[in-house]
Structure 1
Amino acid sequence: MKIYSKHTLALLLSLSLLSGCDQGFTELNTNQVDPTSLAPSMVLNKGIINTNYLDGFGTLGMLTYNFGIVQQIITPYGSSLSGANYDQINNGNTVLVWTNFYRNVLKQLVAVIEQTKNDPLQVNTYQTARIWKAYMFMILTDTYGDVPYFEAGQGYTTEIITPKYDPQQTIYKDILKELDEASAALTTVQAPVVTDILYGGNVAQWKKLGYSFMLRAAMRLTKVEPATAESYVKKAVAGGVFQSNADNSILRHTSTYNNFIANHLAAREKTNFYLAAPFVNYLKENNDPRLRVFAVRYVGAKGGQEQVAARATSDPQQQIGMPMGYNDVTITTVLAQNNVASLWDFSQVNLNTVLKLDAPEFHITYAQTQLLLAEATVRGWVSGTAAEYFARGVRAHLDQMASYGATLSETAIKTYLDAHPLDASKALEQINTQYWVASFLDGTEAFANFRRSGYPALKKNPYPGSEVKGDFIRRMPYPDSEIVVNSAQLNEAVARQGPNTLDTRVWWDKK
């Protein structure tokens, strides 16, 4: 009996101890600082950041295609860096806009829109997400043509995992509608969303952003639907577009959160990419003060290890762009005639100014907006004088150099403007060539406007192994993965749009 009592007592004591240990167990094992949900405004910020890619490797689409097609930055190297330098398909890099935007950016934006569309307290977050989604799809459809649009991003909400591809014409009409509605619906009644990464919740600036995107989207249609273009250009102007550089849409960086293009070119690709001769020559021949900001040359360098500060110069007269059409072997045949010691002696993008690790990236700017208004004025769609819009646009971009820590003097700016007034007889060429310069490092926009306007008047890349039948690459091919997971819808798009090649023109890119 005593033995039984002892065991019973021990059992009761154990149960008591276990019960005591369980007190507060749930609270103890709950992470009090790890969020289980995020405010929609913060998710929207993530979508905006992801638009500029998630890492340095994502920038290879820009570096190997966009910059090379518009002949601003080029590489003589092939393999993983082949693209516009050889006018060839590189499946590893043509897909990067597609994979990033559908897998990352769209996912964030759809989540925000679904969470806020019926919440009267989050009207502005909802409308700004619509504006950014429209911008995101402009880049997607400009890059590939017909793409999944209305059914895109609905895998979780409606279980559509094989979305249909919508015609670009239909997509653009909805983009314009979305920008129109969302910009008008933004309200100053509600408190600003101060966590907004672009404007700190400033509704007036978001309205100007929406209408400036509308102007850009409308001008895409100048060759295919001029009446629609004119209508929406007028709506954008009436709504209110950017009024100064203070309105620019900027992704800012720091020494820890880097500009990814800068990060890439400062590290593994430092000796691989060079400023292209057509770009350098245009700036040099026109005594453009921006060349000093954009360029650096390591004079006499005979290898990457000799690209050192002691050799560096940003003197415009010393800059030599790399000619188009050569690889790392054949380039040696034209070194002497270009007065360089080696391929490493050509000019590069300046890593101390426009591509510092903390250099900003721009989505759309006052300079670009003024230049588009100059063209719209030439077309008779906007009141005012094209020359004034043109001068304001060029000045705005010259002033924009200050954001890279390279402020141009008023004397330099005025000298350049006085020497380059708008000539009415070649206005469209002048305006869009300046747009080319003002879009430097904004590869998707430079590529799109070059196709739309036909300017600058670049010559075909003369590389002998070109896979392009026409003069220039017109679009990026769809990813091979789509053949596996969504072949029926892809085939329908190809049948409608044309072969899945670099030559096929998107709808608004009419000859």
Structure 2
Amino acid sequence: MKRHIYIASLLMLGSLTFQSCTKDFVEKNTNPNAVAAAAPQSLLAPALVSLLNTNLSRNLRINNELMQVTVTVNDNLEIQRYEIRPSESESSWSGWYVQLTNIRDMYQKAHAGQQKGYQTYQGISLILDAWVSSLITDMYGDVPYFDSNKGFSENNLTPKFDKQEDIYKDIFRKLEEANGLLKEKVAVESANTAMDPIYNSDPEKWRKFGNSLYLRLLLRVAHKTETNAIAKIKEILETNAAEYPIMQSNAETAALYYTNVQPYMNPNFTMRDFDFNRSKGYAEFFVNNLMDLGDPRLKIWATEATLGVYGGMQSGYRRGNVPEIQSTLQLALKSEARMGNMMNYAELQFIIAECGIRGYANVDASAANLMGVKAAMEYWGATAPEAYLTNPKVIFSAEDSETQKLKKVHLQKYYAMMFTDFQQWYEYRRTQLLDLYKGPGLLNNGKMPVRLNYPIIVQSLNRENYQEAVNRMGGDGINVKMWWQPSIN
């Protein structure tokens, strides 16, 4: 029992290394004839694969049910009815914190090392740290951050929980540092470039991703005047753009393209067909909007309900009234290469469009919106029909209000972020600009949850710090608002 508790506590704090390399890592650290520690480049790919597999798994199970992408036929699974069991929190928490240890080790080893290109690995690790840390705090609110991931190095198994506001400030600091490090364009050793499955160790592409991620997170907190986020958005997009390069095309999208050859396997590749596409169907909201728009991605993502006809299921149906499955996920998605998305170019364009609409920067919001539409289609191997690009439901008109323009942008952004961790949910919580359907069986007083509970293991093994955070936030329920949560929710 003591052994199980100890292991659990390590998982809680993210102090284990990636599972696939644990044995080799231990051997290297105990063999006097071997290297003293794993090189930073060796930590990169295993961490990315693990993180993206975790994200995709949780996306399919939680995000897609909340955001009316899919509807389960399991009458006892209440996520699509806005009720989430506390046990659902465990997987994301442990998956993210375990790999955050490896990411921060990458920075430390690169900082201490002298090999060519180690400065670039520092920059990469800072960007990944910002990415993972934002996922964690946006899911739970106040979380261990400054003292986290020190279970091995400092034997700290009960880190304090930090305020989300302070976490965001430090995330922005890390992205600034990464931009400066990668600006030098220090090439890594040629033998190590392929150890990066995202950008083949190209410092400029990582820099562009880091600054694009910066915009995602700045926009998320732009309504919090104390962050000065709007001024930074303007600097990145307008007044000092040369110092903050951002992604320029789909070729610079931050994604791990699955080859389905180990270790880069789509995590759904070996899943039973029934578990993948017959235990759930696409939701009405998801299918209806694609059909109304004449979107060519519908046939890429969905099967026909009957010959030549697509259909969706009611989300939030009453218990005991399970609707018949209509269109389901295409089985080809089990082996699809494009499911390992971190942030794509289309999302960036929709961010720019929103910034233009809200007046955060002097940019052409209409052009960015259409660029995002085209890029989102192209990412999935489709071409936006001309009629699509002139559809009044897509393009802006002189009569559109700011809200109407934002609704158009966010519907397109919703589809652009398909299979991208929890970004659809995070963005809906920020804006509520999607006109999601309200099913008759919704629980939680019909309110969309705004966070997940802290994992049960955290409540038991780090009780004092957990309780302090809960008291500060006002509870540990799925409706407890975090620092950046706008008042509209």
Which residue number corresponds to residue 446 of structure 1?
A: 424
Q: Which of 412, 437, 448 is matched with 1:459 structurally? A: 437
Give the distance between the partners of 2:186 and 2:265, measured in 1 at CA: 36
Which residue number corresponds to residue 82 of structure 2?
A: 87
Q: Which amino acid aligns with 2:376?
A: H
The question of 1:430 aligning with 2:377 is answered no
Q: Deviations over 1:135-164 (max 9, x none)?
A: 001111111111111111011122221011
CA contact (8 A) 2:81 2:315 kept: no
The question of 1:369 aligning with 2:348 is answered yes
The question of 1:251 aligning with 2:253 is answered no
Q: Deviations over 1:385-414 (max 9, x none)?
A: 110011101110011111xxxx33xxx532
Give, in angstroms, the shift of residue 381 of structure 1: 2.1
Q: Which of 276, 280, 304 is matched with 1:273 structurally? A: 280
CA contact (8 A) 1:199 1:206 kept: yes
Which residue number corresponds to residue 62 of structure 1?
A: 59
Give the distance between the partners of 2:479 and 2:436, measured in 1 at CA: 17
Which residue number corresponds to residue 139 of structure 2?
A: 143
Give, in angstroms, the shift of residue 383 of structure 1: 2.2
Give, in angstroms, the shift of residue 278 of structure 1: 0.8
Which residue number corresponds to residue 349 of structure 1?
A: 329
Which residue number corresponds to residue 314 of structure 2?
A: 323
CA contact (8 A) 1:61 1:94 kept: no
Give, in angstroms, the shift of residue 262 of structure 1: 5.6
Which residue number corresponds to residue 309 of structure 1?
A: none
CA contact (8 A) 1:211 1:241 kept: yes
Give, in angstroms, the shift of residue 246 of structure 1: 0.4
| Matched residue SS, 1:362 | strand
Which residue number corresponds to residue 39 of structure 1?
A: 39
| Matched residue SS, 2:53 | coil
Give, in angstroms, the shift of residue 509 of structure 1: 1.3
Which residue number corresponds to residue 107 of structure 1?
A: 101
Q: Deviations over 1:102-146 (max 9, x none)?
A: 1x2112112212212233541111111011010001111111111
Q: What TM-score comes out, normalization by structure 1 length?
A: 0.80
| Matched residue SS, 2:112 | coil
Which residue number corresponds to residue 380 of structure 1?
A: 359
**Gaps spanning 5+ residues in structure 1: where?**
1-29, 300-312, 333-342
Give the distance between the partners of 1:106 and 1:443, measured in 2 at CA: 16
Give the distance between the partners of 1:68 and 1:34, measured in 2 at CA: 48
Give, in angstroms, the shift of residue 65 of structure 1: 1.8
Which residue number corresponds to residue 197 of structure 1?
A: 197
Q: Which of 183, 191, 216 is matched with 2:179 structurally? A: 183
- RMSD over aligned CA atoms reads 2.5
Deviates more, 1:122-131 or 1:455-464: 455-464
Q: Which amino acid aligns with 2:251?
A: A
Q: Which of 333, 351, 376 is matched with 1:397 structurally? A: 376
Q: Deviations over 1:320-372 (max 9, x none)?
A: 1111122684125xxxxxxxxxx24x1112222x4435444210011000100
Compared CA separation, residues 271 and 134, structure 1 to 2 (3 A): same
Compared CA separation, residues 68 and 260, structure 1 to 2 (3 A): same
Give the distance between the partners of 2:318 and 2:74, measured in 1 at CA: 6
Which residue number corresponds to residue 462 of structure 2?
A: 486
Which residue number corresponds to residue 71 of structure 1?
A: 68
CA contact (8 A) 1:64 1:74 kept: no
Give, in angstroms, the shift of residue 470 of structure 1: 5.2
Which residue number corresponds to residue 152 of structure 2?
A: 156
Q: Deviations over 1:37-77 (max 9, x none)?
A: 532112022211221135xxx75532332111111112031
Q: Which amino acid aligns with 1:351?
A: L
Which residue number corresponds to residue 228 of structure 2?
A: 228
Identity, % of aligned pairs? 25
Q: Which amino acid aligns with 1:205?
A: K
Compared CA separation, residues 136 and 92, structure 1 to 2 (3 A): same
The question of 1:292 aligning with 2:278 is answered no
Compared CA separation, residues 248 and 383, structure 1 to 2 (3 A): same
Which residue number corresponds to residue 495 of structure 1?
A: 471
**Gaps spanning 5+ residues in structure 2: where?**
1-29
Compared CA separation, residues 61 and 199, structure 1 to 2 (3 A): closer
Compared CA separation, residues 470 and 117, structure 1 to 2 (3 A): farther
Deviates more, 1:321-330 or 1:495-504: 321-330
Q: Which amino acid aligns with 1:387?
A: S
Give, in angstroms, the shift of residue 430 of structure 1: 1.1
Structure with larger Rg: 1
Q: Which of 151, 162, 169 is matched with 2:165 structurally? A: 169
CA contact (8 A) 1:64 1:83 kept: no
CA contact (8 A) 1:460 1:471 kept: no
